[in-house]
Amino acid sequence: MRKILYFTVMALLSNFSLNAQDTKGSNFWLAFGRNSSQLPQTLKIRIVGGDEATNVTIKFTESGEEVHIPILPQQVYTHDLTPEQKTAVHNATMGESSKSVHITTSDSKAVTVYALNQQTVSTDATNVLPITALGTEYYQISYATLSSDAYVVVATEDNTQIYHDNIPITPTPLNAGQVYYYTSGADMTGAHITSDKPVAFFAVCRTTFIPASHMAADNLYQQLASVHTWGYNFFVPVSHLGVERVRIVASKDNTKIDQIGGDFIYSSSGSYTIDAGQYIELEVHLSNNGCFIQSDNPIGVCTYLTGGWYNGHNISDPAQAWLPAIEQTAPNALIAPFIAAGSVINQHYAIVMTSTGAAPNTKVSIGGSAPMPLSGGYGWYHNSDADMSFYHLPLTNPNDSYYFTNDAGLIVLCYGVGPAESYYYLAGSSMRNLTAAFFANGVGCEDMGDHLFCENEITFTTIISNIAEVDSLKWSISAHGSTVLVHDPDLDNEETWKRTFKAGNYWVRLDVYHGGDPNPDPELSCEGELCIGVWVKPIPVSPAGGTVSPAAECYKVGSHIELRALPH
């Protein structure tokens, strides 16, 4: 038996191209839960167009009604649910139903989807994850409830069985679009929800104080990420309100959590050890420029706005946002402020996070305008412990999209506050699989096909994080110009290896075997397309005749530009 070590990838982040499995997509499942009273006055679905025009279909599973919307690039579309549509999607009673929404695009064009659940002085919003980011293992992360805590599970495939703490909770398996709404009179943070097929999972707390016993109640509504996307390194920004609470849930026993910049509730230590399903709470202040969290096992993290009486601003209510690991940065994020009619929320912000060295390169395009550096906010807050920075950007254009870009990667959260009302949600990040992966010169296997390697010597590094030991590792590589994978026995059980490639495209696969099973574990095995370029020089013809020879650059194999290979 060989122990597989976790290779820290913090130092490689600047080289990542994390645009695979992110919060954008073309196929989404959505469900709503109960707000403070029986039926919210407002349920909204927000769709923001991607890089290409597409047609979006919103289908209500229970009624079969369909709404069709053409979406232009970066266009913001908001669908206010009718009374009939609210009834068809609003889960209020524990048990099975078909109260879900299926959102798809034509030709698999990518869009971003958000949802809002609003009543007078009780609002929260969530991003909606595409099916490519969903999984089969979740933990509830909520807060102490004043009435009932709840979650909603939506099946994405037929014959899906759901388990709560390993006990089946559905008499018969769910079919695609069916949901199970689970409620409890107590805080269910740490409940373990699993399934045999990918599902969408939404945490829905009817009303809560944050912190507990401090006035200003609100509901919580946030789609949570599957354990296979949980990470080890987190940076917690803080809103302009100055103080937030954070909950951390462990996925494995004996998980050690270290942090710099926050305060563990009920403990003065800078470290804490918890078992699977247990959680610890932190308080984080803006004056510390955020908080850096590390763990030795995958953890799930949510950050919460506090009540206005607690933070001293006399505005805002509790609200919850999922916080991705630092490894989940993406090169861009497309959002729009959630400005609901009748809401008292009158301040809207994006929190943009990136590595400190790359912060000046972050740009935003508002309503399709030319990209510009961030301005008009509170300036950058820099955290030297995490080597991360964040910026509060006011979102003042209610009908425009905000398109953030940074090649080094970014994560964007969005929040809004007003007298006794708030929302908070993850607005944009990658949702890549962090349980098992390999990296080629720092680029993740899922992203290699979108990256051109000008180097011909590639170093492969393995990450396997959700089991302690494996029996063996097997690598397969396609030949030059082929897509047929061939097992290379010389690389068996190699966690890190290096090889020189000729220019061209290759497929590389890692198969992981454990537990004596003769077949590789499909959850831990992974593959990616490796695109190797050459140093070349374009040879365009100048108007005066002859040729122009600019400095050598790296061009993708098969480029339409005429190429002349240089010695390398």
- Give the 3-state secondary structure of residue 21: coil
Q: If DSSP states are collapsed to H, E and C, what string results for 322-370?
A: ECCCHHHCEEEEEECCCCCCCCCCCEEEEEEEEEHHHHHHCEEEECCCC
Residue with structure tokens 């524990």? 94
> Where is 406: in which H helix or E strand?
strand 402-418
Residue 1 located in a structural domain: no
Say whether both 393 and 471 belong to one domain: no
Say whether both 452 and 315 belong to one domain: no
- Beta bridge partners, 567, equal none
Q: Across the chain, how many H-helices and E-strands are there?
A: 2, 45
- Give the 3-state secondary structure of residue 14: helix
Say whether both 84 and 100 belong to one domain: yes
Cβ neighbours of residue 213 under 8 Å, at least 6 residues apart?
Answer: none
Comparing C-alpha atoms, which of 345, 364, 341 is closest to residue 427?
Answer: 364
- Which tokens is 162 given? 């759901």
Backbone angles phi, psi at 359, to 5 degrees: -55, -45
Residue 538 located in a structural domain: no
Which pLDDT belongs to residue 378?
82
Say whether both 381 and 503 belong to one domain: no
Which pLDDT belongs to residue 568?
35
- Look up the pTM and report it: 0.81
- Which tokens is 533 given? 């370029």
Which pLDDT belongs to residue 340?
63
Cα distances (angstroms) measured from residue 464 to each of 327, 330, 503: 14, 21, 29
- Which tokens is 477 given? 């590589």
Residue 45 domain boundaries: 24-428
Say whether both 417 and 451 belong to one domain: no
How far apart (Å, rounded) are the C-alpha atoms in residues 439 and 460? 5
Residue 560 located in a structural domain: no
Say whether both 143 and 221 belong to one domain: yes
Residue 95 located in a structural domain: yes
Residue 457 located in a structural domain: yes
Residue with structure tokens 């994020």? 333
Residue with structure tokens 């809103």? 239
β-strands 504-513, 472-478 pairing: antiparallel
Residue 6 located in a structural domain: no
Say whether both 269 and 401 belong to one domain: yes
Which pLDDT belongs to residue 14?
29
Number of domains in the chain: 2
Say whether both 408 and 443 belong to one domain: no
Which pLDDT belongs to residue 355?
95
DSSP 490-505: GGTT-SEEEEE--SEE
CATH number at residue 472: 2.60.40
How far apart (Å, rounded) are the C-alpha atoms in residues 568 and 563? 14
Cβ neighbour number for residue 191 with a 10 Å cutoff? 19
Which pLDDT belongs to residue 564?
44
Q: What is the pLDDT along the chain (568 residues), one digit of tens a residue?
A: 222 233 333 333 322 232 346 788 999 999 998 876 666 678 889 999 988 899 999 999 999 999 999 999 888 899 999 999 999 998 888 999 999 999 999 988 999 999 988 776 677 789 999 998 999 999 999 988 877 889 999 999 999 999 999 999 988 999 999 999 999 999 999 999 999 999 999 999 887 788 887 777 777 889 999 998 999 999 999 999 999 999 999 999 999 999 999 999 877 777 899 999 999 999 999 999 999 999 988 999 999 999 878 887 878 788 899 999 998 998 889 888 877 666 788 889 999 999 999 999 999 999 888 999 998 888 899 999 999 999 999 998 877 889 999 988 999 999 988 887 888 999 999 887 777 788 888 787 877 877 788 777 899 988 776 565 788 999 999 988 788 999 999 999 998 999 998 888 899 999 999 888 899 988 788 898 888 876 555 555 444 444 444 445 565 554 444 444 443 3
Cα distances (angstroms) measured from residue 90 to each of 154, 277, 288, 370: 13, 28, 40, 40
Comparing C-alpha atoms, which of 448, 407, 303, 389 is closest to residue 13?
Answer: 407
Contact 124, 220 (CB under 8 A): yes
How far apart (Å, rounded) are the C-alpha atoms in residues 317 and 421? 5
How far apart (Å, rounded) are the C-alpha atoms in residues 500 and 133? 33
How far apart (Å, rounded) are the C-alpha atoms in residues 285 and 263? 9
DSSP 149-202: EEEEEEESSSSB-EEETTEE--SSPBPTT-EEEEEESS--TT-EEEEEEEEEEE
Which pLDDT belongs to residue 567?
39
Residue 5 located in a structural domain: no
Say whether both 238 and 364 belong to one domain: yes
What spatial distance separates the first Cα and last Cα of the chain, rounded to whole Å? 42
Say whether both 336 and 451 belong to one domain: no
Say whether both 423 and 440 belong to one domain: no
Q: Is the peptide bond before 373 cis (omega within 30 degrees of 0)?
A: no
Gyration radius of the chain over CA positions: 24
Say whether both 413 and 447 belong to one domain: no
DSSP 229-264: G-EEEEEE---TTSEEEEEEEESSTTEEEEEESEEE
What's the distance, CA 509 to chain centroid? 24
- Beta bridge partners, 285, equal 243
Residue 558 located in a structural domain: no
How far apart (Å, rounded) are the C-alpha atoms in residues 231 and 435? 8
Residue with structure tokens 């454990």? 514
- Give the 3-state secondary structure of residue 147: coil
Which pLDDT belongs to residue 376?
84
Which pLDDT belongs to residue 377?
80
How far apart (Å, rounded) are the C-alpha atoms in residues 257 and 194? 24
